Chains A and B, each alone.
Chain A
Amino acid sequence: MDQQLNTNIQPGVQVTHSGSHSEGAGNGHSNGDGVHHHKETFITKYIFSQDHKTIAKQFLITGIIWAIVGGLFSVLFRLQLGYPDTAFPILETFFGHWAKGGQLQPEFYYALVTMHGTVLVFFVLTGGLSGTFANLLIPLQIGARDMASPFMNMLSYWFFFMASVVMFSSLFVQTGPASGGWTSYPPLSALGQASDGSKVGMDLWIVAMALFVVSSLLGGLNYIATILNMRTKGMSMTRMPLTMWAIFFTAILGVLSFPVLLSGFILLMFDRNLGTSFYLSDIVVNGQILPNEGGSAILYQHLFWFLGHPEVYIIILPAMGLVSEVMSVNARKPIFGYMAMVGSLFAITILAFLVWAHHMFVTGLNPFLGAFFVLLTLLIAIPSAIKVFNWITTLWRGNLRFTPAMMFAIGFVSMFISGGLTGIFLGNSTIDIHLHDTYFVVAHFHIVMGVSAFFGMFAGVYHWFPKMFGRYLNNTLGYIHFWVTIVGAYLIFWPMHYQGFAGVPRRYLDFKLWSSFNQFEDLNKMITIVSIIVFAAQLMFVFNFFYSIFKGRKVRTPNPWGSTTLEWTTPINPGHGNWPGEIPEVHRWAYDYSKDGRDHIPQTEPVNPSESKH
């Protein structure tokens, strides 16, 4: 745990070593250039960089690009849902036969729905969120010069990049990208005869996802190793900011559940290409009798949801961590119930592994088994409730500064309440019979893990942008971004609960055939219009982001928010190695705000014997 042994400092970066700085044997040292002095080239500094801060920015920017793509997809299929009878010739101009006559073709619609889900769940809210903030914050907040293995960290990004390239290329194959939903249940996803999207597009989807899993594992192992082994002197686990705990548990979830997903995908690949029958049995597709017998289509769902459910916590836990930190800093108060917050993160992590079958109540699952999953699922509401109450109590009697980051943190809590409560409906198998696969589910998960996680991510970006780029984002644009997004998100998703009560199935192209579901025409139009506006507001954020990197107001003080945590003890533009001198020593927890009449006490300040205890 001796930080002096952490030697992954690139020469050429101006780091003054006043402390001893020796080569650490087996301490994640991988570049082997601790002694030689060569100039960093553009390529090693910005492309194949091993600096965690640069890798974080790479994840973030790749995530932003994917978010634009995934968001655009949703706008396209919302056009179809809001205006099923209108032709948009511009769509044909861009998408050719996929939008013949200016109308989305069913295959294209299902491809868009599928890719929207895949891109946002995995490439934006897993890669983009964890990748960015784990990389940026772990070494900075625990006081390390870099990750345990900067080289593995770099590989993690480049596997993510390769996954992105393969996934993106699948959009351009002739038979179209995968179109069986982001869950890709076989036999639909296994049989090219059943759907065009299950032809080569599906193979590319699986390859891309396999690469993504590799990236996620390389990253996750690194995060765990770094947090466990490389904390600076005095930084005990219980002195870490909650962001660190959240990322730590996220990484554990990922490392334990992604391999299961990969195994499911490998079997699916075998079924598709090698004639095995893991998931296939008794199938007559398109008049063709397949030879497969004895497989179980439900097996895939177990394997998928064994990751799939922890996945939603992989998405939401980092957001919770970011929000806790941002909220405490801007309330000028310690986070309420630190140990309860850690405990509830831990409880959520454990329970996350035990609830996957609540996605499968109506698959013919044994009802007795289902009962256990109901119980375990609703148990998650307890740690979630604790977190919400603690956030609200953190605001109570604070002195709140509404920076854009703080606005998004408050918005996060509001969204998390709304979406969390609807989870109590769906987790109860009795109600799930009616609401399963309806718009209620769409509303629930978009609010609780889509919008909430995005709010956590935005809170993080607005808060740590000064640390990343040494400049501020434009505040006015930030406030506009927040208000348009929160109002829009509620307008889009709140009424969808009612569509769900009415039993309107999700993933329908059109409701004209149905006398039970065609009563929401006006509502669907309204939702489409709002979603276009919200999408435009996100583009404005993206513009603000890139503009401010180069032209934003400069940061003039190393600690602009008055934070106690270590990342703000680094220079305004930290080089590789983070601290020019020795790594600071830590003497207290991360939340001494407004204690003993002082605005904040940095973690690096020794405890004064006369200080009050907490």
Chain B
Amino acid sequence: MSTTWIIIALLLGFVIVFQIAKASEYVSILRGEERTRKENNRINAFLLLAFLVAGLFGVWYCHQRLEGKILGEAASEHGERIDNMLLWTIIITGIVFLLTQIALFWFAFKYQERENQKAYFYPHNNRLEVIWTVIPAITLTVLVGLGLYYWFQITGEAPKESMVVEVTGKQFNWEFRYPGKDATFGKKYFKEVNEAEGNPLGQIWTDPANHDDLYTPNEMHLVVGKPVKLIINAKDVIHDVGLVHFRMKMDAVPGIPTTMWFTPKFTTRQMREKYGPEFNYEISCDQICGKGHFSMRGTIVVESQAEYNAWLASLTPTYVSVMEAKKSGAPAVAPAGAAADSAVTTTGSEVKTISMK
């Protein structure tokens, strides 16, 4: 019912505004159009100046309100570089923003039409034009130089001592593979994928390197202070591994593995102490991938080496569980939480991700 009322109110407002507008036109004709035009000119010149002042206040107010809601400290070294670059860019563009917006609205107000005021015929001035070609060019050179310096650090080779994790995106969750004791991933082929038999990644069992590979869905574990290189795949459509707290992002493209590396600086526990017990390192999908895009959530646990080792030891290699299942002839049991399929349902206001085992 309230919707109807809102629509009626909108329509009424509409009619009123229109009537006022029409009446103002008649009034202007009666009073002399030139006089009305000049009055409108003064009003709008004043409003432009008021808009500048209100707008600058709004910029400040918006910053006050939202400053605390954007992410805290970057949780990786790359993230620090990115934040640094961001800060420099904000400072430089902020100065340009203020100067140009103030000049724009101030000139608009100051040079509003007046009796006895003549516009100044000023078609060009080469020196001025050179100045404002060169200054932006120098500024941008600085920004490009600094940006590329960081860019090559971030996208350069991962350090040799990095741990390696394979990430696979699918509609609509994340799967992870660890290389096991041999530190080598076994070969895989997409046509070997068989979720019913507990082989969601398509590992080739004849490759011995596969025999100790570990699989885990939805939650990735990393070691604090240790560089990690992610090898990123997608099974169906393009996804994107978005790690906001580490400020990292990389697409997951079917058929074309991508990589990225970074070094986590804080454990999940440390972050919870800082930002509250609700805190989780989250993996968001940042490339539209279908109707469940918004629910394609993974988490990362950053922990000490000892905790990590204990966790890793608790996993059973996929090969072992598959072979055991085959030997016993029983229906295959997928490794813990292996999502055979995931469906997204919307029930009323509540949105759940259900993994069917």
Q: Which B residues are in CB contact (< 8 Å) with A514?
A: 282, 284, 297
* A66, CB-defined interface residue at 8 Å: no
Report A-chain residues with C-beta under 8 Å of the C-beta of B48. 402, 410
Cα–Cα distance between A89 and B1 once the two chains are bound (Å): 9
- With A424-B143, A614-B124 already in contact, the answer to whether A475 and B25 are too (CB < 8 A) is yes
User: Interface stretch among A118-126, A160-168, A207-215, A277-285?
Assistant: A277-285
**Which of A107, A388, A474, A516 contacts B245 (CB under 8 A)?**
A516
A543, closest chain B residue (CB) = B18
Query: Is residue A490 within 8 Å, beta carbon to beta carbon, of the partner chain?
Result: yes
Q: Which residue of A lies closest to B293 (CB)?
A: A507
A434 to B17, CA, bound (A): 45
- Chain B 76-119 residues near chain A, CB threshold 8 A: 78-79, 81-82, 85-86, 89, 92-93, 96-97, 100-101, 103-105, 107-108, 111-114, 117-119
The listed residue with most A CB atoms (<10 A of its CB), out of B128, B147, B278, is: B147
| Chain-A contact segment, one of B37-45, B207-215, B312-320 | B37-45
Residue among B18, B69, B291 making CB contact with A107, cutoff 8 Å = B291
* Residues A180 and B288 in contact, CB atoms below 8 Å apart: yes
Are the CB atoms of B82 and A363 closer together than 8 Å?
no
* A285–B128 CA distance with the chains assembled, in angstroms: 60
* Chain B nearest Cβ from A145, distance in angstroms: 31
The docked-state distance in angstroms from the alpha carbon of A390 to that of B130 is: 12
Q: Are B122 and A399 in contact (CB under 8 A)?
A: no
Q: Is the CB of B190 within 8 A of A101?
A: no
Residue of A nearest to B236 (CB): A285
Contact flag A401-B113 (CB < 8 Å), given A85-B349, A89-B3:
yes
Interface residues as binary, A425-439 with B (CB distance below 8 Å gives 1, 0 otherwise): 100111101101110
Asked if B167 is at the interface (CB within 8 A of a chain A CB), the reply is no
**B306 adjacent to chain A (CB < 8 Å):** no
In contact, B237 and A285 (Cβ under 8 angstroms)? yes
- Given B55, B92, B118, which contacts A490 in the complex, CB threshold below 8 Å? B55
Q: Mark A89-122, 1 if CB is under 8 A from B, else 0.
A: 1100000000001010111001000000000000
Bound Cα distance from A363 to B41, whole angstroms: 51
CB-defined contacts of B325 to chain A, threshold 8 Å: none
Chain A residue at smallest Cβ distance from B275: A515
CA distance A105 to B349 in the complex (A): 11
Shortest distance between the CB of A63 and any CB in chain B (Å)? 22
Q: Cα distance A371–B191 when bound, in Å?
A: 37
A interface residues, tally (CB under 8 Å)? 141
Q: Are B344 and A417 in contact (CB under 8 A)?
A: no
A194 contacts partner chain B, Cβ-Cβ < 8 Å: yes
**Which residues of chain A are within 8 angstroms of B111 by Cβ–Cβ distance?**
331, 395-400
CB distance from A314 to the nearest CB of B (A): 24
Write out the residue numbers on chain B whose beta carbons fall within 8 Å of the beta carbon of A362. Answer: 240, 249-251
Q: Is the CB of A425 within 8 A of B93?
A: yes
Q: Is the CB of A490 within 8 A of B129?
A: no
CB distance from B35 to the nearest CB of A (A): 13
B286 at interface, CB cutoff 8 A: yes
- B326 to nearest A CB, angstroms? 20
Within the complex, the shortest CB–CB distance from A279 to chain B, in Å, comes to 9
**B112 & A297 in contact (Cβ 8 Å cutoff):** no
Known: A421-B97, A509-B294, A594-B118. A486 touches B51 (CB 8 A): yes
List, in ascending order, chain A residues with CB within 8 A of B30's CB: none
Q: A364, B93: Cβ atoms under 8 Å? A: no
Q: Is A295 in the interface zone, CB < 8 Å from B?
A: yes
Say if the beta carbon of A385 comes within 8 Å of chain B.
yes
Residue of A nearest to B280 (CB): A515
B122 touches A434 (CB 8 A): no
**Are B292 and A378 closer than 8 Å at their CB atoms?**
no
Q: How far is the CA of A479 from the CA of B279 in the complex (A)?
A: 48
Residues on B with C-beta less than 8 A from A285 are 171, 235-237
A396 touches B171 (CB 8 A): no
Contact residues in B for A513 (Cβ distance below 8 Å): 294-295, 297, 351, 353
Contact in complex: B282, A101 (CB < 8 Å): no
The answer to whether A333 and B238 touch (CB under 8 A), given A289-B190, A296-B255, is no
Across-interface contacts of B287 in A (CB, < 8 A): 185, 437
**Closest CB in chain B relative to A527 CB, distance in Å:** 12
The residue in chain A whose Cβ has the minimal distance to the Cβ of B116 is A399
Contacts of A507 in B (CB 8 A): 288, 293-294
What does the 1/0 interface line of A496-535 toward B look like (CB < 8 Å)?
0010011101011111111111011001000000000000
Separation of A427 and B13 alpha carbons in the complex (Å): 43
B241 to chain A: closest residue by CB: A362
| Cβ A396 vs Cβ B107 within 8 A | yes
Pick the contact of A410: B108, B129, B195 (CB < 8 A): B108
| A558 close to chain B: CB less than 8 A | no
Is B154 within 8 A of A477, CB to CB?
no
In this assembly, does A306 line the interface, its C-beta being within 8 Å of a C-beta of chain B?
no
Partner of B144, one of A84, A295, A378, A502: A378
Would B147 and A520 count as touching, CB distance under 8 A?
no
Cα distance A434–B83 when bound, in Å?
A: 9
Say yes or no: B128 contacts A393, CB within 8 Å: yes
Tell me if B148 counts as interface (CB < 8 A to partner A): yes
Beyond A110-B288, A429-B151, A477-B17, is A397–B122 a contact (Cβ under 8 Å)? yes
| Chain A hits for B104, CB < 8 A | 391-392, 395, 410, 413-414, 417
Contact with B along A284-295 (1 / 0, CB 8 A): 111101000111
Measured CB to CB, the closest approach of chain B to A561, in angstroms, equals 12
- CA separation between A165 and B238, bound complex, in Å? 30
Instruction: Report chain B residues within 8 Å CB of A297.
Output: 238, 253-256
Q: What B residues does A505 contact at CB under 8 A?
A: 242, 284-286, 294
Known: A363-B258, A434-B249. A333 touches B122 (CB 8 A): yes
Q: Specify which chain A residues have a CB less than 8 angstroms from the CB of B28 in the assembled complex.
A: 475
Q: How far is the CA of A596 from the CA of B170 in the complex (A)?
A: 71
Given A101-B348, A364-B251, A536-B14, does the pair A283, B190 have CB atoms closer than 8 Å? yes
Contact A283 B254 (CB under 8 A): yes
Contact present for A480 and B17 (CB under 8 Å): yes
- Judged by a CB distance under 8 angstroms, whether A200 is at the interface is no
- Give complex CA distance A195, B254 in Å: 16
Interchain CB contact under 8 A, B122 and A334: yes
- Which residues of chain A from 244 to 289 have a CB within 8 Å of any chain B CB? 280-287, 289
B70 contacts the other chain (CB 8 A) = yes
| Distance between A16 CB and nearest chain B CB, rounded to angstroms | 32
* Per-residue interface assignment for chain B, residues 180 to 199, with 1 indicating a CB less than 8 Å from any chain A CB and 0 otherwise: 00000000001101010000
A402 CA / B148 CA spacing, docked (Å): 44
Asked whether A371 lies within 8 Å of B148 as measured between CB atoms, the reply is: yes
B159 within 8 A of A: no
Apart from A84-B349, A110-B288, A540-B17: 10 A-B pairs, beta carbons within 8 A: A101-B348, A105-B346, A106-B292, A188-B289, A283-B254, A378-B144, A395-B107, A402-B112, A414-B105, A513-B294
